[in-house]
Amino acid sequence: MRYPTPPNPPTDIATALEADHQAIERDLGTLEAGAPAGASERRKAAGDVAADLASDAAVKEAHLYPFMRKFLPDGEEVARRQVAGNGRVERELKELESAEDERFEVVLARLTAQVRARFAEEARILPKLVAATTARQRREHGRRLLTAKRTAPTRAHPDGPDEPPMNRIAHRGLALADRLRDAAEGRRR
């Protein structure tokens, strides 16, 4: 279910985020529809979506929210709300990771609702960001975002720093630990 970076990825930050949101939404929809069947297969598929969401949160905290702070008139408040929303999603991801079978579907449904609310809010904000920035600025930050995705953490770290520069520093170590754990567990990344 991993959403791979396409061979010619969009470099505009808004377009790249929209593409990521669509891929994650598609995978959440598949899980909602009851596929794949079997508890272990569902848990693995949800783990792949969780890795994508953890990476999504990390790169947004490192690149998108500072971009919003700089260019939107209410950027500080918007970024603060976004970071708080990411925290809620990360707590749900952490709970999903350890949820027993009987709680798994309940936590997955809560996570899905949280993610959809976050994506809807970002969809309202992105046009404002596009209007406030140049195409060159959006491409530059889009390239940074796509580069960061390749080395972002793949697990939720709700207690980790979420503001620059500490988040960028911590994410490097967390990402390494996550990828080692992914390899040990046979999780594809």
The DSSP secondary structure of 65-90, one letter per residue, reads HHHHHHHSTTHHHHHHHHHHHHHHHH
Residue 128 pLDDT exceeds 50: yes
Q: Into how many domains does the chain fold?
A: 1
Please give the torsion angle defined by the CA atoms of residues 87, 166, 171 and 106, in that order, rounded to the nearest 10 degrees: -10
Q: What's the mean pLDDT when you consider all of the chain?
A: 88
Q: What's the whole-number mean pLDDT along residues 62-75?
A: 95
72-113 residue pLDDT tens: 999 999 999 999 999 999 999 999 999 988 899 999 999 999
Residue predicted with more confidence, 179 or 134: 134
Residue 1 pLDDT exceeds 60: no
**φ, ψ for residue 164 (rounded to 5)?**
-65, 150
For residue 44, being part of any structural domain is answered with yes
Residue 6 pLDDT exceeds 60: no
For residue 146, being part of any structural domain is answered with yes
Cα 133 from chain centre: 23
- Quick check: 54 and 160 in contact, CB under 8 A? no
Residue 163 pLDDT exceeds 70: yes
**Cα-based distances in Å from 77 to 18, 70, 83, 104, 167:** 22, 12, 10, 33, 19
For residue 115, being part of any structural domain is answered with yes
Give the domain extent around 61. Answer: 13-185
For residue 99, being part of any structural domain is answered with yes
For residue 64, being part of any structural domain is answered with yes
For residue 109, being part of any structural domain is answered with yes
Percentage of the chain exceeding pLDDT 70: 94
Place 23 in a pLDDT band, splitting at 50, 70 and 90.
very high
For residue 4, being part of any structural domain is answered with no
Residue type, 171: H
For residue 8, being part of any structural domain is answered with no
